[in-house]
Amino acid sequence: MDTAPVRTAERAAFYDELAPKHMAPLWEVLRALMTREPATPCVPAIWHYDEVRPYLMRSGDLITAKEAERRVLILENPALAGKASVTHTLYAGLQLILPGEVAPAHRHSQSALRFVLEGKGAYTAVDGERTYMSPGDFVITPSWTWHDHGNDSEEPMVWLDGLDIPLVGFLDAGFVEPGNTETQLVTRPAGDSLARYGSGLLPVDWRPTSPTSPVFNYPYARTREALAQMERQQEWDPCHGLKLRYVNPATGDYAMPTMSTFMQLLPRGFAGAPYRSTDGTVFVCIEGQGETRIGDRTFAWGPRDVFVVPSWATHRHRAVAESVLFSFSDRTVQEKLGLWREARG
């Protein structure tokens, strides 16, 4: 299994005969098809917010949110240039919406998550309900739901978009439909979903009709409060510090069917143990300061910086100040398929 068979002249001639018949010898490619361990071409990378923000603001001078439909700068894995992918399965981008702007309604099979980085008071509307967003909020646009964004505030608003675009593309399962109105009709008051489904209660006769969480904004204030309360127990995971996963309150499963999302607290001075898992992961710092060593490279991060850890890359986090990291990956998909693995040390 370790060395390829010799490519004799006779064999090569045979392969040449196979090609026009749309056939190929497996034994020539087996070692590339199946590797002892995941061998992703993806590389680690970081986008420092201070460096990226001026480009985002320049895009704001060049095109309106309406003309662009979504004014986003894609964060591409350096090894996947031109592929609109931050990992093989995930897309990431930074979206800017300026005061008074609207990003028109549409819907698509791809699921989206938003993680708010800057600004306060712009909204995203999902299925007739607007949610007003603040930094650190984790907001969901479920598959095939109408959604539009608007900024009624006085400040630019920036969030990180995470979508399952490459995964859905690989499955050839994507549909998109433009809305026939720019802004969808508001049919429910802001905060309705969170009260209805996110208060440790559920409407008595309600049954889920979708695998996505019925809560579509997980406000940072609540998440931070949970972390602050739990921190008092001083129970730290050697690799993750204190790490929570976002859940669908109706099922206990991850909040979204194709992307897992997490929030973790690293105490000041935390020096994490090495860890790796098969889900390439995008991290965003929302508070604090630290660094993550990925393979043999070290990436220093601070608030609003985004970095990506490829599948099966050994990494360890350190925190100079108490830090909070949001992250997302395709872990839920891998778990469902019985593929997900992790290793410590």
Q: Which residues bind ligand 1HN (CB under 6 A)?
A: 70, 72, 93, 95, 112, 147, 161, 163, 165
Reduced to 3 states, what is the DSSP secondary structure of residue 115?
Answer: strand
User: Which of residues 45 and 165 has its CB atom nearest to ligand 1HN in the complex?
Assistant: 165
- Distance between CA atoms of residues 156 and 97, nearest Å: 6
User: Which of residues 163 and 167 has its CB atom nearest to ligand 1HN in the complex?
Assistant: 163
Shortest CB 141 distance to ligand 1HN, Å: 6
User: Which of residues 86 and 165 has its CB atom nearest to ligand 1HN in the complex?
Assistant: 165
- Distance between CA atoms of residues 61 and 96, nearest Å: 11
User: Which of residues 170 and 206 has its CB atom nearest to ligand 1HN in the complex?
Assistant: 170
Tabulate helix, strand, coil % of the chain (nearest 5). 20, 35, 45
Shortest CB 110 distance to ligand 1HN, Å: 7
User: Which of residues 105 and 239 has its CB atom nearest to ligand 1HN in the complex?
Assistant: 105
Shortest CB 209 distance to ligand 1HN, Å: 21
Q: Is 107 exposed, middle or buried (0-12, 13-18, 19+ CB in 10 A)?
A: buried
Shortest CB 160 distance to ligand 1HN, Å: 10
Sheet holding 91-97, edge to edge: 72-74, 91-97, 157-163, 112-118, 138-141, 217-218
Checking phi first, is residue 230 left (phi over 0); if not, alpha (psi -120 to 50) or beta?
alpha
Contact between residue 273 and residue 292 where contact means Cβ atoms under 8 Å apart? no
Q: 315 Cβ partners below 8 Å, 6+ apart?
A: 44, 274, 275, 276, 292, 293, 294, 295, 309
User: Which of residues 77 and 95 has its CB atom nearest to ligand 1HN in the complex?
Assistant: 95
**Strands 281-294 and 315-329, bridge-based pairing:** antiparallel
Shortest CB 266 distance to ligand 1HN, Å: 29
Radius of gyration of the chain (CA): 22
Q: How many CB atoms lie within 10 A of CB 7?
A: 11
User: Which of residues 70 and 196 has its CB atom nearest to ligand 1HN in the complex?
Assistant: 70
Shortest CB 95 distance to ligand 1HN, Å: 6
Shortest CB 165 distance to ligand 1HN, Å: 6
